A and B are shown apart, each in its own frame.
Chain A
Amino acid sequence: MKTLIYKHRYLILRRFTQVLVMALYIIANVYGINILMGNLSSSMFLGLIPLSDPYAVLQMFSAGAILTFDIIIGALIIMTFYAIVGGRVFCSWVCPVNMITDLANYLRRTFGFNQIQKKQPASRNIRYWVIGLSLIISFVLGITAFEFISPISMMHRGIIFGLGLGWAAMLVIFLFDLFVLKNGWCGHICPLGGFYSLVGRFSLIRVKHDADKCTACMECKEVCPEMQVLHMVTKESIPVLSGECTNCARCIEVCDDDALIFSIRNKNNGEKNEIN
């Protein structure tokens, strides 16, 4: 039992923070306990500190909206936070869609879909194209383009304010990830994930690989939602430097040989090895 918990310690913590964030928003809406008011698009922490989604604010900017002081400060706070802890910490520790895509991925592994469909037919760079497109469309139409279709905000708002037909969008992502493309939404398409990949490129918290301990069991690559970032496994003792790593720590948990650990990035560990 104890080892089971230990083997899933980060997973449990992650689910806990995901649910906690949601719960704080819900109690603010339903009971008026205003620790965290609003939603992931923009909120007010303790009735004092504004927080806003920097990607949404970027879209507002290209749509030609006049940005208020609050919203700029809010976006800067969030940007700074994720620039330090690793951009995609948002993805694995906060975003509600992560639970759906993790489930789809888990089922893929259990049913062995990954063995059948080895080669993934789509590029992981699509997400960066989607970012570019969203900004262009925002500019041309004068509205926040991704925010009008975002399943992330849709689901998150849905949980706090009522979902409507939003469940259909959730189902589409689930089925897409399960049957069409492994890590399809989060790993290939989601522009918010792409945005946070860029934000977290130089972040301090990094998973570090120790090639001497590695026994090449490949468990880590099996569970990693962005396995291209683990290219050094078995080969080199360097940290994972790609911003696409979500810092979910699943690799750390599944590694029975302690070859992967969290570390703080410092000047002399492998800046030169940095790729994208």
Chain B
Amino acid sequence: MKSGVTKKEPISSRRRFFLDMARAVGLATLGGLTWSAYVDEVSASKLTLRPPGALKEEDFLATCIKCGMCVEACPFDTLMLAKPGENKPLGTPYFIPREIPCYMCPDIPCVPVCPTGALDIKSLKSEKKELDINEADMGLAVVDAENCIAFWGIQCDACYRACPILGEAITIEYSKNERTGKHAFMKPIVHANACTGCGLCERACVTEKAAIFVLPREVALGKAGDYYIKGWDKNDEKRLENTNSEHLKQKKDSKSVLDSLNSGMEGLY
């Protein structure tokens, strides 16, 4: 019996090897891309508050081994390891101040137990080389002036009194209520240089949803850039000397700019 189909040439083992290899590489690339995209997504959460002494977020993510020893060491159960579904980098420690803030333990038990150095004990040493929780930098409290009732003129200083470094991290600013003429505003003002981001103020805030809340510093702080100079700081003169004023001058005279526009138009007709 003769069949019309010619028998397929058997694939040589060499060719098969290359084919299999190419397929494996292709699949691996596909898998790798999906995997990276996913991991990139879950680790991109910018609003996660870390324990005291945590490294910069990107170094922290590379270093923390997710062992939970900081969590176990915290006597207040402040810290938690992110679980699936919490939209935080999986397994890393964080805290939610409105639930349980960091109580700023003087001996900072959560930090020395960290085996990886993701919580960096050096960053918490004062100039005298002693452990000092006031050096912590978990975040920065921000006041929502719209909803803070003190800005309405109602007397409330719950956050101020809750702050472990009151008078430095939060101060009360007195100002006259021009509308009534006989009342005063007592507004809470947070100072970024002293606030540790512990969240005790957020926890204490009396409004339904806290009108003062902690955000990671990179999120909470703006950046003015070098263009602006306060003018009354001691070192401002020096900064002026160093600025490179080139970019203030126009490189081309305005005539040539106009010409270039006009000549460009000509080509269109």
Contact = CB atoms under 8 A, between A and B. Distances in A.
Interface of A: 28-29, 32, 37-39, 41-44, 50, 52-53, 56-57, 60, 63-68, 70-71, 74, 129-130, 132-133, 136-137, 140-145, 147-149, 153-154, 157-158, 160-166, 168-169
Contacts of B89: 143, 148
A71 B62 CA distance: 14
A30 B198 CA distance: 24
Contacts of B38: 149
A129 B31 CA distance: 10
Given A142-B62, A166-B83, A50 B36 contact: no
B214 interface: no
Interface in B145-161: none
B39 interface: yes
Contact of B66 (A41, A164, A168): A41
A52 to B, nearest CB: 6
Interface string B165-187: 00000000000000000000000
Interface in B16-75: 24, 27-28, 31-32, 35-36, 38-40, 42-43, 58-59, 61-63, 65-69, 71-72
B90 interface: yes
A143 B39 contact: yes
Interface in B102-156: 113, 115-117
Nearest to A125: B24
Nearest to A25: B68
A56 B90 CA distance: 14
A147 B35 contact: no
B84 interface: yes
Contacts of A42: 65, 67, 69, 115-116
Given A37-B113, A38-B72, 10 more contacts: A39-B67, A41-B67, A42-B115, A60-B65, A67-B116, A137-B32, A143-B58, A149-B90, A164-B85, A166-B84
Interface of B: 24, 27-28, 31-32, 35-36, 38-40, 42-43, 58-59, 61-63, 65-69, 71-72, 80-81, 83-86, 89-91, 113, 115-117
A149 B89 CA distance: 10
29 contacts: A28-B72, A42-B69, A44-B115, A53-B65, A57-B65, A64-B62, A65-B62, A66-B117, A68-B115, A71-B115, A129-B27, A133-B28, A136-B32, A143-B58, A144-B61, A144-B65, A147-B66, A147-B90, A148-B39, A148-B89, A149-B39, A149-B90, A157-B68, A158-B83, A161-B80, A164-B85, A164-B86, A166-B84, A169-B84
A265 B50 CA distance: 48
A133 B91 CA distance: 21
A137 B36 contact: yes
Contact of B42 (A57, A60, A66, A148): A148
Contacts of A161: 68, 71, 80-81, 83
Contacts, number: 140
A74 B32 contact: no
A165 B117 contact: no
A141 B115 contact: no
Nearest to A133: B32
B84 A164 contact: yes
Contact of B116 (A37, A44, A65, A143): A65
Q: Which 6 A-B pairs have the closest CB atoms?
A: A164-B83, A165-B85, A42-B67, A63-B62, A165-B84, A65-B63
Given A39-B67, A163-B83, A50 B28 contact: no
A38 B66 CA distance: 9
Given A154-B91, A161-B71, A41 B84 contact: no
Contact of B81 (A137, A157, A168): A157
Contact of B67 (A43, A65, A166): A43
A192 to B, nearest CB: 14
B117 A153 contact: no
A71 B32 CA distance: 27
Given A137-B35, A161-B68, A143 B83 contact: no
Given A66-B117, A133-B31, A141-B39, A154 B67 contact: no
Nearest to B66: A41
B62 A60 contact: yes
Contacts of A157: 66, 68, 81, 83, 91
Contact of B72 (A29, A64, A136, A164): A29
B69 A37 contact: yes
